[in-house]
Amino acid sequence: MSDLAGKTVLVTGASRGIGAATAKAAHQAGARVLLHASAPSDAAEQAAGAAGGELVFEDLSLPGAGGRVMAAAVKAAGRLDAIVNNAGVYIPSALEASDEDWAAGWAQTMAVNVQAPADICRAAVAHFRSQGGGVIVNVASRAGHRGDGPDHAAYAASKGAVLAMTKTFARALSGENMLFYAIAPGWVETRMAPQDIENRKNAIKDIPLGRVASPEEVAEMIVFCASGTCPSATGATFDINGASYVR
């Protein structure tokens, strides 16, 4: 098991799915955990209880939200050693949509999936410089490499941006003991995974492993990266897709 003893970790989008599993895994690895959620909910309370952590609430679609999340987390903990940018939205951006719906889908997707994590990274760099380093793990997607269905171009584009951002910051800042990693899952057993029987069958046909990934599998890789066990892997993207997309 990766060791996070004595470290403090912030996980965004932590009320369910990959985020909740990551918060719990980080807690089990010895970390103090701060869990971000968009708003109070039973799911957020349950995730915080499982991780023995504290909640920070912020709607990441709003301007400046990423900076506010970081400020609240630093105020609560005093020091952050690792940050997991997991929060994201999967909003349709169909070519046949109205102009208004098309624009709104792209705007909200970019706000939550790109601008908020970028602002968090920016604030984290300043924080890490004050303490001699830190780790950021950005959750992207297989779609950032291979694209997605025609109704989710905005999502694929946003995750491609996250991958490029992660590589850029790793190249620029690893010499200052700031490590950046990206995780690119395919289908994971969360609300985003196909739910109807036919779509589920088609999704699994595309996965040589024969099943979608579990949130816990993804969480273990995130916690490994957050532990800083392998600094030389900074800038790397870890694919978790059952060999459905092999680069």
Can you give the pLDDT at residue 189?
A: 83
- How far is Cα 165 from Cα 245, in angstroms, rounded to an integer? 21
Question: 4-17: per-residue pLDDT in tens?
Answer: 999 999 999 999 99
Contacts of 94 (CB under 8 A, 6+ apart): 101, 102, 150, 151
How many CB atoms are closer than 10 A to CB 165?
20
**What is the rounded CA–CA span in Å between residue 232 and residue 139?**
19
Q: Could you tell me how far CA 38 lies from the centroid of its own chain? A: 14
pLDDT tens digit sequence for 73-132: 999 999 999 999 999 999 999 999 999 999 999 999 999 999 999 999 999 999 999 999
Is 181 tagged catalytic? no
Give CA–CA dist 161/174, Å, rounded. 19
Active-site residue identified among 90, 155, 181, 245 = 155
Q: Are 172 and 120 in contact (CB under 8 A)?
A: no
One-letter identity of residue 197: I
Distance CA 231, CA 181 (A): 10
Whether residue 228 is predicted with pLDDT greater than 80 in this model: the reply is yes
The distance in angstroms from the start CA to the end CA of the chain is: 27
Over residues 231-238, mean pLDDT: 98
Alpha-carbon span 121 to 130, nearest angstrom: 14
Q: Are 233 and 206 in contact (CB under 8 A)?
A: no
Architecture of domain 8-240: 3-Layer(aba) Sandwich (3.40)
Over residues 175-208, the pLDDT tens digits come to 999 999 999 999 998 765 555 545 667 778 889 9
Q: What is the pTM of this model?
A: 0.94
- Give dist(CA 113, CA 242) in Å, integer: 24
At residue 60 the predicted structure's pLDDT band, cuts being 50, 70 and 90, is: very high
